């Protein structure tokens, strides 16, 4: 018990700091993922989900995993950044990788989401896993001496946990602050979207960051990661830098892993260890991505 007390104290302190509104107000120019890469010192952690009510979740059984150092963007990639990428693509690639307008077809006020400058600092959605990967590959080509890619599932979870042990959410254990505020953009289990101030997506960085200074690891948009989805994906992979069928198009059911939950989903999907899957070619209004830079 004594060993746990300092950890519990630190987690409580971080949680209260998160709730105090003390994080600095972000300016729009600060919000480019590429300009805000955070160095994460690698280490070992307990990956997976151990739910108090249900025990270990079938596709996210706990396993001690070690990741090497890496850099990850503090923010989800924004519409403005993705538009810049498309401008540099040839016509074929631009057409293939463009977000699908149809993902907002039922939402009249959102149809210009990708093209209207008022949504510049909102996370890009409506893109496939292939498009997210192409964005990273292009950064590698255009940035001399640097290598970019999507996070592995293990890197993503390590980053989301922000060095906290056994935390449910990226900021700690409790969904709400003592004053009732929420720390992420999501839909509550009772079906209400706007309890956190946002009905749809929110500009990236609208909520306090986790301990690694990473924003929106819980909620706003789900994030494509590099791994293909399988029930036992990371279980069957190495315990150092695991990555299941990375960089590849999945050859079975077409499923890639998405992480973090979104504005359309309830609180269980905000959990750090929660896994979801989506076909690599699906375009939705609730999945975007963030980028990793390889540390040489």
Q: How far is the CB of 258 from Ca ion (least distance, A)?
A: 10
**First CA to last CA across the chain, in angstroms?**
40
Binding segment (CB under 5 A) for Ca ion, from list 95-103, 160-168, 169-177, 194-202: 194-202
Q: Which of 237, 211, 216, 218 has its CA nearest to residue 226?
A: 237
Is the alpha carbon torsion for 263, 203, 135, 157 positive or negative?
negative
Q: How far is the CB of 201 from Ca ion (least distance, A)?
A: 9
CB nearer Ca ion, residue 201 or residue 235: 201
Does residue 23 touch Ca ion according to CB under 5 A? no
Q: How far is CA 159 from CA 74, 141, 230, in A?
A: 10, 25, 21
Q: How far is the CB of 213 from Ca ion (least distance, A)?
A: 15
163-192 residues in contact with Ca ion (CB under 5 A) are 185
Does residue 196 touch Ca ion according to CB under 5 A? yes
Contact 123, 78 (CB under 8 A): yes
Total site size for Ca ion, rule CB under 5 A: 7
The only residue of 48, 203, 260, 273 in contact with Ca ion, by rule CB under 5 A: 260
Does residue 203 touch Ca ion according to CB under 5 A? no
CB nearer Ca ion, residue 98 or residue 185: 185
208-237 residues in contact with Ca ion (CB under 5 A) are 216, 220
Q: How far is the CB of 157 from Ca ion (least distance, A)?
A: 13
Contact 180, 254 (CB under 8 A): no
Give 2's DSSP letter.
T
Q: DSSP secondary structure string, 155-222?
A: HHHHHHHTT-SS-SBTTBS-SB-TTS-BSS----TTS-SGGGS-SS---TT-S---TTS---SSSSSE
CB nearer Ca ion, residue 164 or residue 184: 184
CB nearer Ca ion, residue 157 or residue 235: 157
CB nearer Ca ion, residue 216 or residue 293: 216
Q: DSSP secondary structure string, 23-53?
A: SPPPPGGGG-STT-EEEE--EEEEES-EETT
CB nearer Ca ion, residue 269 or residue 280: 269
Binding segment (CB under 5 A) for Ca ion, from list 131-139, 231-239, 255-263, 265-273: 255-263
- Site residues, Ca ion (CB under 5 A): 185, 193, 196, 198, 216, 220, 260
């Amino acid at each position: 018990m004594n060993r746990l007390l300092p950890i519990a104290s630190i987690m409580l302190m971080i949680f209260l700091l998160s709730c105090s509104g003390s994080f600095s107000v972000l300016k729009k120019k600060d919000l480019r993922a590429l300009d805000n890469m955070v160095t994460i010192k690698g280490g070992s952690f307990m990956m997976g989900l151990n739910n108090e009510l249900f025990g270990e979740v079938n596709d996210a059984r706990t396993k001690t995993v070690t990741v090497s150092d890496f850099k990850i963007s503090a923010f989800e990639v924004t519409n403005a950044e993705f538009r810049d990428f498309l401008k540099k693509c040839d016509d074929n690639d631009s057409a293939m990788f463009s977000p699908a307008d149809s993902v907002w077809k039922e939402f009249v006020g959102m149809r210009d989401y990708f093209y209207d400058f008022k949504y510049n600092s909102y996370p890009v959605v409506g893109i496939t896993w292939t498009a997210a990967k192409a964005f990273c590959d292009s950064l590698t080509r255009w940035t001399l001496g640097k290598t970019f890619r999507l996070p592995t599932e293990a890197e993503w979870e390590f980053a989301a946990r922000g060095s906290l042990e056994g935390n449910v959410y990226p900021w700690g254990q409790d969904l709400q602050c003592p004053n009732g505020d929420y720390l992420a953009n999501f839909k509550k289990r009772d079906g209400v979207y706007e309890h956190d101030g946002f009905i749809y997506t929110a500009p990236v960085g609208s909520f306090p960051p986790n301990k690694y200074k990473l924003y929106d690891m819980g909620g706003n948009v789900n994030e494509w990661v590099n791994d293909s989805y399988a029930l036992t994906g990371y279980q069957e992979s190495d315990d150092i830098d695991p990555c299941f069928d990375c960089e590849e198009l999945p050859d079975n059911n077409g499923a890639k892993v998405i992480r973090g939950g979104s504005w359309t989903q309830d609180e269980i999907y905000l959990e750090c260890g929660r896994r979801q899957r989506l076909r690599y070619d699906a375009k939705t209004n609730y999945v975007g991505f963030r980028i990793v830079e390889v540390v040489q």
